[in-house]
């Protein structure tokens, strides 16, 4: 019986290890579907973004409330790094603003890769009723400077938002991906592309858990 029990425990540990490894792999390659959906680089080199047929000013209503968040951040970016740093944070979303065309929240964490004890971030999301596209703006206490907005829309429960930016002096594409399939445990991920969307490196992801 002890041998059987030991074998069962060993098998369980191996299964858990395999699941953990597959999760890490999924987070560095997810999503498997094409990233450049409703977005393309034109022949003149411009980033062209079109709204999905389901794009709506209500797409971020699910975020209203308070959240506990588990984050994973790639230690360094665009240099073949495979080491992830994990940390916790909280977020408070204030619901709709600007008569339903906006959404805003405050992110707080004790982890600060730039140094210091803690930092805060603010996200402002604005829906343009003419273009039917969302613009997502981020600013944090490390820089005090608002990043270029990522722009896009939701296709059902998956939202993809893009922008051009500069990283270490080189042009990149940035994508934010929201998965709100489980609205009490939504997943957000960020990736960079150094080659106009041919390849992507996922470098930051978090899962939010609604605080009841």
Residues 44 and 7 occupy one common structural domain? no
**Cα(148)–Cα(126) distance, integer angstroms:** 13
Look at residue 25 in the predicted model and tell me its pLDDT.
38
Name the domain count of the chain.
2
Q: Do 42 and 71 lie in a common domain?
A: yes
What is the structure's pLDDT at 115? 78
Residue 136 near residue 148 (C-beta atoms within 8 A): no
Looking at the structure, tell me whether residues 162 and 199 fall in a common domain.
yes
**1 and 47 fall within a common domain:** no
What pTM value is reported for the model?
0.84
107 and 3 co-located in one domain: no
HEC assignment per residue over the chain: CHHHHHHHHHHHHHHHHHHHHHHHHHHHHCCCCCCCCCEEECCCCCEEECCCCCCCCCCCHHHCEEEEEEEEEECCCCCCCCCEEEEEEEEEEEEEEHHHCEEEEEEEECCCCCCCCCEEEEEEEEEECCCCEEEEEEEECCCCCCCCCEEEEEECCEEEEEEEEEECCEEEEEEEEEECCCCCCCEEEEEEECCCCCCCEEEEEEEEEECC
Residues 38 and 2 in one domain: no
pLDDT digit string (tens) for the chain, length 212 residues: 334 343 444 444 443 344 343 333 334 445 566 899 999 999 999 999 999 999 999 999 999 999 999 999 999 999 999 999 999 999 999 999 999 999 999 999 999 877 777 899 999 999 999 999 999 999 999 889 999 999 999 999 999 999 999 999 999 999 999 999 999 999 999 999 999 999 999 999 999 999 97
Structure tokens at 157: 């429960």
Contact between residue 166 and residue 174 where contact means Cβ atoms under 8 Å apart? no
Q: What per-residue confidence (pLDDT) applies to 9?
A: 47
User: Which residue(s) pair with 85 in the sheet?
Assistant: 73
Residue 106: domain span: 33-210
Do residues 22 and 41 both lie within one domain? no
Same domain membership, residue 37 and residue 18: no
120 in the same domain as 98: yes
CATH of residue 182's domain is: 2.40.128.20
Same domain, 50 and 117: yes
């Amino acid at each position: 019986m002890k041998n059987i029990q030991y074998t069962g425990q060993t098998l369980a540990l191996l299964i858990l290890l395999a699941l953990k490894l597959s999760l890490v792999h999924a987070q560095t390659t997810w999503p498997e579907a094409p990233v450049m959906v409703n977005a393309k680089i034109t022949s003149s080199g411009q980033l062209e973004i079109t709204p999905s047929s389901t794009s709506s000013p209500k797409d971020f209503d699910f975020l209203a409330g308070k959240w506990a968040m588990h984050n994973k951040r790639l230690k360094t970016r665009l240099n073949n790094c495979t080491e992830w740093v994990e940390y916790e944070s909280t977020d408070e979303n204030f619901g709709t603003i600007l008569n339903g065309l906006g959404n805003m929240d405050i992110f707080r964490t004790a982890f600060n890769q730039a140094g210091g004890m803690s930092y805060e971030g603010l996200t402002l999301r604005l829906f343009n009723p003419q273009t039917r596209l969302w613009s997502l703006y981020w600013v944090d206490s490390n820089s005090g400077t608002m990043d270029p907005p990522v722009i896009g829309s939701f296709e059902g429960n998956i939202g993809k938002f893009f922008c051009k930016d500069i990283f270490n002096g080189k042009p990149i594409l940035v994508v934010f991906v929201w998965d709100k399939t489980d609205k009490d445990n939504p997943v957000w991920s960020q990736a960079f592309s150094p080659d106009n969307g041919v390849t992507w490196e996922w470098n930051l992801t978090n899962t939010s858990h609604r605080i009841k």
